[in-house]
Structure 1
Amino acid sequence: MQTFTQPGIFINHVSSRELTKLAQRGQDGLILDEQLVAALEAGSWHLPAGVNNRIVLPVHGRDQTELRQRAEKLTLCGENVWVQVPVMTAGQFNQSLIAELLAEGVPLVVDGVASKQQVYHLLTIARETTTPLLMIFCPAMSRYDAIVGLALAHLLSQVQVISPVRTVAEYWLSHNLQFDGVIVNHQQLTALHRLVASAAGQTCNVHTHQEYELVLG
């Protein structure tokens, strides 16, 4: 799997209108919005040819059975498709769901990871396969648990970790903690590109922070 010199960028809530344009810009990951995923699942819309980015399809369901059925159907939409499932459903850890999908070879994104204990349990599952696993750490996760969780996750080559960012401070924190990627929305993308370009080879400073805080916030 790819290793990033700077956190890779994942764009959230991508619509059909934005998909091709963002793909041509070379974004690492495109997380499709729920309406587009529903259209894809219903067969009324298909992924455009030539889109080679990681396409992340969020899946929701009332229980693990429904999540599994939807995930197994959507993973057939393309070789670059990753299915996103929650780490918990109805207060229960989705252990069997995640284990079965990884065993079937479904590239998986697990959302809402909130503690180092959850990271440990996910890695216990992941080490039994070579299927790629991408964890999304919850913004409310404690700094200590994030540091420990990242260190554990990076012990397995098929596992990567990303996190949503809302401000430039959170972006730099993700970079310094060695997250493999960050999640932003489409409106934040231009400002984030400017930030990365202007700060190449530099450390974060007050001027940089002041210039981009309002745009990313």
Structure 2
Amino acid sequence: MDVVDIDTWKRKEHFMFFKDMDSPFFNLCFDLDITPLYQHIKQHKLPFYHALIYYVMDCVNRVEAFKYRYDSENVVKHDVLHPSFTVLNSEDELFKIITVLNTNNFQQFLCDCRERTTSQNSMIDTELQKRSDLIYITSIPWISFTSISHPIKLEKFDAVPRIAWGKYKKEQNKVLLPFSVQAHHAFIDGIHISKLKDVIEQNMDNLDHIFG
């Protein structure tokens, strides 16, 4: 993690403009073409939700703008971001939020997900949620949505991006996934979300390497 010198930071004016707004968040929803990823997941019989989380996190970590946070004193840039995501209990239809540290090994990631899902009895691990190097992720696989928003405590500075996706649809030999990014405008603009979209769609030529 690096501390950013705000005075010499190219984004200083934008940061100062947005940081104290009552609602500095914006949300973009769009369809992702995940056809190659969908085919890879089906061919290799991977768990869809966890494979998507792992792949999206690999892509998020390639876009620098998503790594900035503010701790009330300093702007910092994290080296690596980690997923914190919802897991549904189908029996009682309640979810828990689990946090798994990023790894460059997909099978290890799956093991860590299983262990955390089993061992965490509470809805949320409050200690892990204190970390700022997270990306919040959720899935709504029953609805192909066109809009979504996320709850946020406005009394504190929360710059953790929220990512959500919905029910995929098949159109003209393509698999399209409704995808949403909610971000703090002090750090992230529309161009950065566009860059993430490009990385996600263009990096699918590299799936064998990513999933090992």
Same fold, judged at TM 0.5 (above)? no
| Greater relative contact order structure (CA < 8 Å, 6+ sep) | 2
Q: TM-score under structure 2 normalisation? A: 0.30
- Normalized against structure 1, the TM-score is what? 0.29
